[in-house]
Amino acid sequence: MLYSTIPEEVIFQDVVWAAAKPKKLVQYQGINVEVEVLESGEVKIERIISTNPEDYLIAALQPGCRIKYH
C-alpha cells in the first residue's frame, strides 16, 4: 500500500497494467474470502476478510491456496 499525497496516476504513469482478473467475494467454511476464479473450476484465495484473528491462522485459507468452490 502506498500512502502519498501525489495521485497514483502520476506515480505510476509509466506502468503498464495487466488486465485485472475478476475477484469474487465468497464465504468458505463460514469465513469471507476474496478469490480469483481460475479456468480449472477452482478458486485461488486472494485475501481473508474477517475480524477473527484465528481465521488468519488456518493454513488452508492462506492467500495463494487453491480450493474447490461451487
pLDDT confidence of residue 57: 95
- Report d(CA 47, CA 40) in Å as an integer: 20
Q: Is residue 23 classed as helix, strand or coil in its secondary structure?
A: strand
**pLDDT reading at 62 higher than 70:** yes
For residue 27, being part of any structural domain is answered with yes
For residue 57, being part of any structural domain is answered with yes
For residue 8, being part of any structural domain is answered with no
Half-sphere exposure of 10 (CA within 13 A, CB side): 4
Contacts 24+ apart (CB under 8 A), 59-63: 61/28, 61/29, 61/31, 61/33
Select the more confidently predicted residue: 56 or 70. 56
For residue 10, being part of any structural domain is answered with no
For residue 7, being part of any structural domain is answered with no
pLDDT bucket at 46, cuts 50 / 70 / 90: very high
**pLDDT reading at 65 higher than 90:** yes
For residue 5, being part of any structural domain is answered with no
For residue 58, being part of any structural domain is answered with yes
Q: All 3 cell numbers of residue 41?
A: 473450476
For residue 24, being part of any structural domain is answered with yes
**pLDDT reading at 20 higher than 70:** no
Expressed as residue numbers, the domain containing 49 is 15-68
Over residues 30-58, the mean pLDDT reads 92
Q: How many domains are contained in the chain? A: 1
